[in-house]
Amino acid sequence: MRVAVAQPASTDDVAANLAAIAQLTAEAAEASAELVLFPEYATYEKKRLDESFARAAQPLDGSVCTKLASIAHRHGVTLVAGVVEASPDPLRPYNTLAAFSPDGTLAAAYRKIHLFDAQGQRESDFISPAPNAEPVTFRAGGTVVGLMTCYDLRFSELPAALCGAGAEVLALGASWVPGELKTEQWRTLAAARAIDNAVFVAGACQAPPVSIGNSLVVDPQGAVLAQLGSVPGLVVADLDLDRIGSTRREFPLAGQRRLAAGG
């Protein structure tokens, strides 16, 4: 599978963000990517969360997702992007990763489970957590893709559950808040989750100044296959899915675990 990881510098200008997504998706399709991954809050983003996210929220059949579906269909790719989804709480929408198939249909929607209440920020003041803490996977071609969002990366249980549900690629959309050692932690945790589960991790992160950039693709042994720096852009990597089986045979961790999560 060929995957493209896009690193935009999204703002609160929805139209401009959608135009950037369209352009980067066109570039990814030109490079023969099958799966194109965009960050958390790809369609609406600010330096800090506030009440405007609720005003920007839409249902998954609203104009924003309709445009994303059209982009996926136009270029014949599977597109994953972070959107602000309306929830039953009008003041606290969902932080959602929406995946669209090449035919323009909604393949999956993952509402963020672990909200970023850390580093002096409280995402939960403005965003509703997923009502059900369940892993979300979908198929892109013949590949099973699991969805994760930003702070989820710090919780090993979710990637393990996704891989238990068959995920071969963990698609991680993020807007990783800058700070001391945060870039090092992003890289380390992405590699750790790949190694923990013998799976590919594709992490799309917002560019500075809102986030740290450094979007990347990691293989099941923790090797970085492709990486961006601090400027907006796109990187493409080929995933040899046979690496999953060979790594799991070499390190059969799933059959050797003796402690259940939370046990």
Whether 205 is catalytic is no
**pLDDT > 90? residue 29:** yes
257 found inside a domain: no
CB atoms within 10 A of CB 118: 13
Whether 242 is covered by a domain: the verdict is: yes
Residue 263 has pLDDT above 50, yes or no: no
Give domain status of residue 57, yes or no.
yes
Residue span of the structural domain in which 159 resides: 2-251
263 occurs within a structural domain? no
- CB neighbours (10 Å) of residue 28? 26
Please state the rounded mean pLDDT for residues 76-83: 98
260 falls within a domain: no
Q: Does a structural domain hold residue 78?
A: yes
Q: What is the pLDDT of residue 255?
A: 86
Of 34, 65, 85, 112, which one is the catalytic site residue? 112
Mean pLDDT, rounded, of the chain? 96
Residues 132-168 have pLDDT tens digits of 999 999 999 999 999 999 999 999 999 999 999 999 9
31 pLDDT higher than 60: yes
Name the band, by pLDDT with cuts 50, 70 and 90, for residue 254.
confident
Residue 85 annotated as catalytic: no
Q: What does the pLDDT read at residue 259? A: 78
Total domains, the chain: 1
**Which helix (H) or strand (E) is 248 found in, with range?**
helix 242-250
112 is catalytic: yes
Q: What is the DSSP string of 47-111?
A: SS--THHHHH-B-TTSHHHHHHHHHHHHHT-EEEEEEEE--SSTTS-EEEEEEE-TTS-EEEEEE
How much is the average pLDDT of 171-200?
A: 97
How confident is the model at residue 261, as a pLDDT? 59
Query: 11: domain CATH number?
Result: 3.60.110.10
Q: Of the residues 65, 85, 123, 150, which is catalytic? A: 150
Tokens of 90: 């009008």
